[in-house]
Structure 1
Amino acid sequence: MSERGVGVVERELLDRARDAEIARRRDYYARLELVAELDRAAVAEVTGDRGTVRLLQAQWNVDHAEAKRLLDEAGDLVARRSLQGERLPARFPCTAAAVAVGAIGPGHVVVIRRAMARLERVDGLGVEDWVEADRFLAEKARQMSPAGLTALAKALVAHLDPDGEAPPEGEDRRDELHVVRRRDGRLDFKGSLHDPADAEVFLGAIDPLAEKLGPEDTRSLERRRADALKEVVENADPSSTPAGDDSAAGDEPEPALIPQPRRPEPATKPPARPSGSGRVLLTLTMDHRWLQQAVGHGVLDSGALVHPQSVRRLACDAGIIPMVLGSRSEPLDVGRQQRTAPDAIRRALVVRDGGCAFPGCTRPPQRCHAHHIQSWLDHGDTAVENMCLLCRFHHQLVHHGHWTITMIDGRPWFTPPDWINPDRQPRPGGRPRAVSWAGGAVAAA
């Protein structure tokens, strides 16, 4: 679709859709106000119900969980009364104001309440910081989907409480793999990897091999991952000698007797792909001071936090590519020399954007393209300052021309079309990161 294709009829429909969503969100807040009023007036005592939750269940024919959620949200977002009858602001006044005007919806409220509840348990966090977190999250919720806000809230909590959320060292002790061979030869298995770093390595090995091989590849994601796992196993070398064991050194392996397959090979097989290229490249970002002191946490591309001891352990058995942000140690600008991003630029984009840079998108880096903000064909340079990571969908969306990208302070900002935001207010893209706010506290942006 092109810009000239959005005519008067389409714009009218888009405006009606936006107005309908705003009205729905305002009705949702009016519903919370009604719940608060029912609770404040103790109506349940008159009707004989066991509290406001039970009253809502009977009155609206909803489940207990929904009735309790509505009462809890009303307690956080609706203005209160003191014992003397004075009007008090809502516990989360900025979030309440955003919901009241229809700027954010129930999904955003769930994310903000979860983050604020987590911040309440952070030792040493001042009341001013807690209030500022409400303001910050409510402001960002106006620009992001609940999924994008979730990543932002996680970054905020992780920065305000760096030791609180990282999983403890030794999580792999709970790893398990259950394998059952059926009578017909079928193999059933299920398992779990608890260490986020191990999970990242596993997906790093499987998912690149599970990519579609072209438009003719109609396999489901589950089937492609199963085929990828078989490919990894088939390429394994069981005859290799473990480190420190030279008992079989120099011995020629016995020829294996390969039985005929029990079933004939299928008539059609998916196109062959190149074999793997060695060990998985694991990208993990961590403050160098934290790494030296074994405190804080590392961050994987997926956003998962890793215990500092796990980071140090991985560093003992990995190819380390140090990256000092802002340094000139790697060529991060090759100008017009080449169109595709070299490895150094791609690594810098991964550190900066963390995956698809489009606001709210959670696609990991390995599923993203390196996009030129000013097209290379229009004399744009192949440089970090002129590039960002975009997943396939958002890459196509940007190339339609409705969304525009501008670099501000070294980060990509995305300006939506006027039918999404009449003011066309730019939205920050890329990985949520820490910045200072007034009063000395720290948040994510």
Structure 2
Amino acid sequence: MSEQVMGPEARAALERARLGEVARRRESYTRLEQVAELDRSAVAEVTGDRSTERLLEELWRISAAEARRAVAESRDLCPRRSLLGEALPPRLPCTATVAASGEIGPAHIAIIRATMRRLDGVEGLPAHAWADAEQALADEATRWGPRGLQAVADRLLAHLDPDGDEPPEEARSRDDELLVTRRRNGTLLFRGRMGDPVDGEAFLEVIDGLATRCGPEDQRELALRRVDGLKDLVADARSPRGIAGDTTGPDPDGRPEGDGEVPTALLPEPRRADPAEGASRVERPGRALLTITIDHRWLRQALGERGGYGLLDSGARVHPATARRWACDAEIIPVVLGSRSEPLDVGRTRRTATDAIRRALDLRDGGCAFPGCARRPRRCQAHHVDHWLDGGDTALDNMCLLCSFHHQLIHHGHWTTRMIDGRPWFTPPWVIDPDRRPRPGGRPRVPT
């Protein structure tokens, strides 16, 4: 319903719902303050309980896990006392402030606490960097849902602890499996796992490429389109030419095609169906077409000192040595922004995004740019912030990725979009945020 025609009853209901959630979150913080008071006063010693956690189990009739979580959160978010009895601020003071105001909920708190515990173990991290990280997370939590905040936290950890959680150099093949069960009626059931994130990325590139809708009349669910794509892949494998259909073979020197250094020259031609053959044509998958973003220094030092990683489109990390290995067999697209060989601004000469702009959008936005949406780039469309028909340019600084749902929402809803410092920002309607505060879109950045 348009906010211009929304009646007073609907507005009042929305406001009651918003204030009700704020009140519940404030009450949750009040509960933590009560736990902290019991803990500081050592009431458990008076009652004969072993700990404050055990006391809470009996007092509130809650589980041991819930009691442990309540005590741990109270020690992070409520004022403390030193061994000498001196009053101390909360361990996470900024998080405590927004939690007490009701701006964030339990899921936000859990993400911030887990992130800060990880940073506790980073050797050599300055105290001011730790404090800045906690303040940044608390601030971002007031603008993002739990999923968006987790993405911010992941990138913050990657920035402050680049060597932490190093991806495996090679996949552990013993962890890979594909279990197939045939029932008596001929039905097949699948269950499988791939340990190497690059293998998983290649698998999705092929399957989701084959699962693309054939047109607006194709109303199949994604799961059905994927299994139909797998059937097409099997049928292609059984054809006389086999699954690859590659007739190039080795070069005259006898080296396998693609062997050698990481390709950095011309980009491969886009894989598009011939319109004359119809939309239902299924292309052969061929070799994997992947985009791996990695610092050139890390790539060169892959076989040497430890450190660094590559990023797939999905955000998964891969070891530099793995990137080098895959560069021998796959068509790796080097992401070069603003180079002379790939102009990123084509102005008014065409309406649709070029391949270069599309790849830059994939890297910058990381998928649907709408705040909180996790749709991957391959499921998104390139949207003009200032519409092309209204004079907007087909350029990186005037475009963002949107999934079909949010693309329609922007064009027909009451959200507004604008570019600020090369990044899309989205302003919600009054029904979502009475203050209409702009929200950053695209891939969450490390706060500065």
CA drift at 1:237: 4.7
- 1:298 Cα deviation from its structure 2 partner: 1.1
Instruction: Indicate whether 1:207 and 2:215 are aligned.
Output: no
Q: How does 1:28-107 map to 2 (within 5 A)?
A: 28-107=28-107
Select the residue among 394, 397, 405 that pairs with 1:393.
405
1:23 aligns with 2:23: yes
Return the TM-score normalized by structure 2. Answer: 0.85
The DSSP-based 3-state class of the residue aligned with 1:189 is strand
CA-CA distance at 1:343 after TM superposition:
1.1
2:379 is the counterpart of 1:371 = no
Q: Secondary structure at the match of 1:233?
A: helix
Measure, in 1, the Cα distance between the counterparts of 2:25 and 2:216. 40
Other-structure match for 1:411: 423
What is the alpha-carbon distance in structure 1 between the residues aligned to residue 369 and residue 231 of structure 2? Answer: 33
How far, CA to CA, are the matches of 1:123 and 1:325 in structure 2?
Answer: 34
What is the CA–CA distance in structure 2 between the aligned matches of 1:28 and 1:214, rounded to whole Å?
Answer: 49
Structure 1 residue 120, shift from structure 2 partner: 1.4
Task: Specify the code of the residue in structure 2 equivalent to 1:283.
Answer: T
Counterpart residue number, 1:293: 301
Deviation at 1:281, TM superposition (A): 2.6
Matches of residues 269-288 of structure 1 in structure 2 within 5 Å? 273-279=280-286, 280-288=288-296
- After alignment, is 19-28 or 217-226 more displaced? 217-226
CA contact (8 A) 1:373 1:387 kept: yes
Higher relative CO (Cα under 8 Å, sequence separation at least 6) belongs to: 1
Asked if residue 332 in structure 1 is aligned to residue 365 in structure 2, the reply is no
- How far off its partner does 1:428 sit? 1.7
| Matched residue, 2:136 | 136
Q: Which runs of 4+ in 1 moved over 6 A?
A: 241-244
Distance (Å, rounded) in 1 between the aligned partners of 2:406 and 2:42: 50
Q: 1:306 aligns with which of 302, 318, 335?
A: 318
**Aligned residue in 1 for 2:191:** 190
8 Å Cα contact 2:292-2:334 kept in structure 1: no
2:259 aligned residue: none
Answer yes or no: is the 8 Å Cα contact 2:108–2:141 preserved in 1. yes
Partners of 1:337 and 1:11 lie apart in 2 by 45
Worse-superposed segment, 355-364 or 158-167: 158-167
- The answer to whether the aligner puts 1:11 opposite 2:11 as a matched pair is yes
Q: Partners in 1 of 2:338 and 2:218 — Cα distance?
A: 42
Query: Residues 272 and 171 of structure 1: is their aligned pair in 2 closer, same or farther, counting only changes over 3 Å?
Result: same
Kindly provide the amino acid, as one letter, of the partner of residue 287 in structure 1.
D
CA offset at residue 31 of structure 1?
1.0
Residue of structure 2 equivalent to 1:436: none
Per-residue CA distance 1:31-65 (angstroms, 9 max, x = gap): 11111112222223333333222222233332222
After TM superposition, list the pairs within 5 Å mapping 1:321-360 onto structure 2: 321-360=333-372
- Structure 1 residues 320 and 223, CA gap change in structure 2 (3 angstroms): closer
> Taking structure 1 as the reference length, what is the TM-score of the superposition?
0.85
1-structure distance, mates of 2:211, 2:369: 23
Separation in 1, partners of 2:39, 2:239: 67
Per the TM alignment, residue 220 of structure 1 is displaced from its structure 2 partner at its CA by 4.6
Cα RMSD over matched residues?
Answer: 2.4
The corresponding residue for 2:262 is none
1:422 maps to which of 424, 434, 446:
434
Assess if the C-alpha contact under 8 Å between 1:290 and 1:296 holds in 2: yes
The separation in 1 between residues aligned to 2:377 and 2:343, in whole angstroms, is 20
Identify if the C-alpha distance between structure 1 residues 57 and 273 changes in structure 2 by more than 3 Å, giving closer, same or farther. Answer: farther
Answering whether residue 238 of structure 2 is matched by residue 226 of structure 1, we say no
Partner of 2:270: none
Displacement of 1:238 in angstroms is 7.0
- Structure 2 gaps of 5+ residues are 251-277
How much does 1:444 deviate? 4.2
* Secondary structure in 1 matching 2:150: helix
Single out whichever of 276-285 and 10-19 deviates more from structure 2: 276-285
- Aligned partner letter, 1:12: A
SS in 2 for 1:346: helix
Match of residue 260 from structure 2? none
Name structure 1 gaps, 5 residues minimum.
245-270, 434-442
TM superposition shift of 1:319: 2.1
- Which letter does structure 1 place at the counterpart of 2:199? D
Q: What is the percent sequence identity of the aligned residues?
A: 60
